[in-house]
Amino acid sequence: MALAIIQFEANQGKTTRFHIDIGTVNRFYAYSIGDDKTFTRNGLTFLENARFVSPVFGPLPPETLGRTFVEIPSDRFDFRYRYLQLYSFRDRQRNGPALSPIVPVPITSNSRPISLSFSSPSVMDNQLVPTQPFSYQQSYSTEMGLFSSIGKVVGKVASGVVKAVKAVAPVAAPILTSVLGPEAGVAVTGVTKLLDTLFPGTGGHPQQIKSQLQNPDTLNQIVSLISQLQKAKAAPSTAKALSFESYSPFPGKAMLPSGVFDQMPALMPLLGRSLHPETVRTISSGPMRSRVLLGTIAHGALEVGKHFPGFIQAIADELHNDDPDLLPLRNGLKGREPEYHRQETVQLHFAGIHPQITGGASRVLYRIDEDLTFPLVLDTPRPISRGTVRLLVKNPETLEVLAEEKYPVENLHSGPVYGNFRLSRGQLRSLKPNEEYLICAVLTWTAHSSHTGNKKRLGTSTAVLVTLVGDYIFDRLEGVEEKIPLNDPKEYRPYWHKVWQGDFAEDGQSIALECKYYYVLEPEERNNARMETMLHMDDQHRGDQSGKLKTGMVLSPQQLERLLAWISDKPRLDDEEMAALCCCEFRDSFHQLARTQVEFEGDEGDSATLWVYPEVDLRRVVLKQVMDSDANGHVLELSDRTVYFPVPSTVHFLGTSS
């Protein structure tokens, strides 16, 4: 049966030990700590003023029979907040709850002049609002910061190319090193100049380089790009580092930094060799999520590098550190595609790509709930007798391979590639609707080396950035229908947050707090959660006190949709409409950060409390509804649909004293 029994075992100094028994039906548990105030609902008694509500722990292994020991930090208890209650659940979503009697905990001492009080667990419909650790931070992404990240990624690829070319023609080393060296003031701007330097008289073998370059423009552009990177590093920047994310806790959308066009003009033509033209236009004109932008550039640059034999090993030697900006490159090298020598004279293309305008940008849309087919077109100077097409889905931020399919092909000529290059609906099941993915097509085949007669694997590739959608996709936020303060602590208790409580240690004492409060949307959460209050007080043992406080609330889209029914008569959203609001774009537009300063004054024995509650805007949200798609699952037509959704707009700080 479902149980929830907790018993005090021992005070161990820094921790207090308890024995719990939750039976064999429920395998998950949580606990709350509060004072002696309680409330009763449906015959059950709950702590009313909870100082702390733990996350859900579990599952307990079956062999424990639901019994275990729990150690709780002793500083979570004091003479006022010394009452403990255990909850058990059937699963992590808190279904099938059982709760224990409220247990008083023996306290040894408490000498702190200021005590903290955290949020209460009671909610509408008798649902707990847990407290979770504070894990958010402000993100001050700047144009110059993004430009630096792009420079690191492209620089590693260029360095790998240099090493690969050096290995083939050692006499090229002084020339390429001079481009990379600190005194590289003059750009080597063309492959002609490079090869001319290697002609007889230098002891070089220019044919070794010529033989591996079907398209000499590639090395021309790589050499130009290396020089441009060096100049970009050497030149002091006069651009102002503007924040494009304000105080958003998460990286949002960004335009391609202007420095890429001004200081790395060779980059975009190089990316055009391995990315679909629509994706190159998206990169150039933006805006894009900054990590998607960086990952897509990394993919395109890696594919260009494969034009040079030995490139994969050469760049692998460059990626030993854990720099997060280089994660796409590391994952790209671990991909499931076999290593091959890229042929620039053979080009592969996705056919029939038609973008749609949504969210103020051009995007390629495919249905996530249908089998998807990607027709391919080949441009080749000579027939290919047989080969293999690999169709891959990659996370565009990390280049991790999420789905893959392999198809044998034969008798390839310029024109359509005959085959049914398909990703099934089952393969897409693990992907999220309304998110972006890289669809990559890789064609490889074997040939014999004209010099050694040995077999070698040749290949080419293309990639397009797509968004997989259901019936709807988020487009934009529009005007405010109504402003609604959630100022009734009984009716809107889940949205009220007691963020701090302090006691005054002497007469006439002042306590000043600089406060930050975050609202963040977490699509994966089924319930709201209050963030742990993080407090830093200045080192003053007596007299006036001052400090900094930050906390916030994690909001669940499902709970906000339920709130819609409480505060308005607007239609509720169905599952497909809600799925459209769980995308990154809506989440990023939702985040809020409020700042304020508060000051309390009181005498010894007095206490003060700081509460927070929101005012929400009933916003008009415009979705794009899919009206037509072709047999390949490619979306061809969209129309507007307006829904309404509550979005926090103002944070009210309310101080009380007693």
- Region 254-258 average pLDDT: 68
128-132, 202-206, 525-529: least confident range: 202-206
The answer to whether 609 touches 117, Cβ cutoff 8 Å, is yes
Instruction: Note the pLDDT of residue 14.
Output: 82
Q: Express as a percent the part of the chain with pLDDT over 70.
A: 77
Burial of 590 (0-12, 13-18, 19+ CB in 10 A): buried
Tell me which of 404 and 145 has the higher pLDDT: 404
Which of 245-259, 307-321, 569-583 is modeled with the greatest confidence?
569-583
Band of pLDDT at residue 200, cut at 50, 70 and 90: very low
Band of pLDDT at residue 138, cut at 50, 70 and 90: low
Going by C-alpha positions, the residue among 275, 320, 265 that lies closest to residue 299 is 275
Band of pLDDT at residue 205, cut at 50, 70 and 90: very low
Query: Per-residue pLDDT for 3 more than 70?
Result: yes
DSSP 624-653: EEEEEE-TTSBEEEEEEEEEEEEEEEEEEE
Instruction: Note the pLDDT of residue 637.
Output: 95
Instruction: Note the pLDDT of residue 143.
Output: 56
Instruction: Note the pLDDT of residue 110.
Output: 38
Beta-bridge partners for 39: 46
Domain 337-469 sits in CATH at 2.60.40.10
- β-pairing, 435-448 vs 455-469, is antiparallel
Q: Phi first, then psi: what are they for 147, rounded to 5°?
A: -60, -40
Instruction: Note the pLDDT of residue 460.
Output: 94
42-56, 109-123, 445-459, 644-658: least confident range: 109-123
- Which residues lie below 8 Å from residue 258, measured CB to CB, with a gap of 6+? 143, 239
CA distance 373 to 89: 44
The structure tokens listed for 64 are: 């424990």
Query: Per-residue pLDDT for 558 more than 60?
Result: yes
CA distance 481 to 475: 18
CA distance 43 to 66: 25
Query: Per-residue pLDDT for 247 more than 50?
Result: no
Instruction: Note the pLDDT of residue 316.
Output: 81
Instruction: Note the pLDDT of residue 485.
Output: 92
Band of pLDDT at residue 338, cut at 50, 70 and 90: confident
- β-pairing, 455-469 vs 361-367, is parallel
36-45, 202-211, 325-334, 390-399: least confident range: 202-211
Q: What is the pLDDT of residues 14-35, one digit of tens each?
A: 889 999 999 989 999 999 988 8
Boundaries of every domain in the chain: 2-111, 142-334, 337-469, 484-620+647-657
Find the helix or strand (DSSP H, E) in which 67 lies.
Answer: strand 67-73
Q: What is the pLDDT of residues 38-86, one digit of tens each?
A: 877 777 888 877 778 888 898 998 888 899 999 998 888 877 788 999 9
Instruction: Note the pLDDT of residue 336.
Output: 67
The CATH homologous superfamily for domain 2-111 is Interleukin-17 receptor A/B, fibronectin-III-like domain 2 (2.60.40.2150)
Helices and strands in the chain: count of H runs, count of E runs: 14, 34
- Region 143-158 average pLDDT: 73
CA distance 325 to 330: 10
Tell me which of 50 and 199 has the higher pLDDT: 50
The answer to whether 19 touches 87, Cβ cutoff 8 Å, is no
Tell me which of 139 and 260 has the higher pLDDT: 260
Q: What is the pLDDT of residues 165-190, one digit of tens each?
A: 666 554 444 444 443 343 322 333 33
Instruction: Note the pLDDT of residue 517.
Output: 92
- Region 246-251 average pLDDT: 36
CA distance 476 to 478: 6
Write down the mean pLDDT value for the chain.
Answer: 79
Going by C-alpha positions, the residue among 101, 107, 60, 109 that lies closest to residue 84 is 101
Instruction: Note the pLDDT of residue 563.
Output: 93
Instruction: Note the pLDDT of residue 377.
Output: 96
Instruction: Note the pLDDT of residue 269.
Output: 82
Going by C-alpha positions, the residue among 179, 221, 48, 29 that lies closest to residue 126 is 48
Query: Per-residue pLDDT for 508 more than 70?
Result: yes
Instruction: Note the pLDDT of residue 317.
Output: 77
- Region 303-332 average pLDDT: 80
Return the C-alpha torsion angle 114, 540, 509, 535, nearest 10.
Answer: -40
Q: What is the pLDDT of residues 561-609, one digit of tens each?
A: 999 988 999 999 999 999 999 888 888 888 888 888 888 888 888 889 9
Beta-bridge partners for 446: 457
- Region 549-553 average pLDDT: 92
The structure tokens listed for 244 are: 């494009």
Instruction: Note the pLDDT of residue 165.
Output: 64
Burial of 562 (0-12, 13-18, 19+ CB in 10 A): middle
- Region 371-398 average pLDDT: 94
Beta-bridge partners for 638: 626
Query: Per-residue pLDDT for 328 more than 90?
Result: no
Instruction: Note the pLDDT of residue 238.
Output: 34
Query: Per-residue pLDDT for 392 more than 90?
Result: yes
Q: What angle do CA 633, 638, 639 make, to 5 degrees?
A: 150
Q: What angle do CA 446, 452, 457 make, to 5 degrees?
A: 20
- Region 227-251 average pLDDT: 39
- Which residues lie below 8 Å from residue 264, measured CB to CB, with a gap of 6+? 150, 151, 154, 225, 228, 229, 232
Return the C-alpha torsion angle 89, 94, 95, 96, nearest 10.
Answer: 30
Band of pLDDT at residue 647, cut at 50, 70 and 90: very high
Band of pLDDT at residue 641, cut at 50, 70 and 90: very high
Tell me which of 651 and 334 has the higher pLDDT: 651
Band of pLDDT at residue 556, cut at 50, 70 and 90: very high
Instruction: Note the pLDDT of residue 361.
Output: 84
Instruction: Note the pLDDT of residue 168.
Output: 54
Band of pLDDT at residue 468, cut at 50, 70 and 90: very high
Find the helix or strand (DSSP H, E) in which 45 lies.
Answer: strand 44-47
Instruction: Note the pLDDT of residue 79.
Output: 72
Q: Please say whether the dihedral angle defined by the alpha carbons of residues 292, 297, 300 and 303, taken in this order, is positive or negative.
A: negative
Q: What is the pLDDT of residues 215-234, one digit of tens each?
A: 556 656 666 665 555 555 54
CA distance 90 to 250: 33
Instruction: Note the pLDDT of residue 192.
Output: 34
Same topology for domains 2-111 and 337-469, yes or no? Answer: yes
Instruction: Note the pLDDT of residue 2.
Output: 77
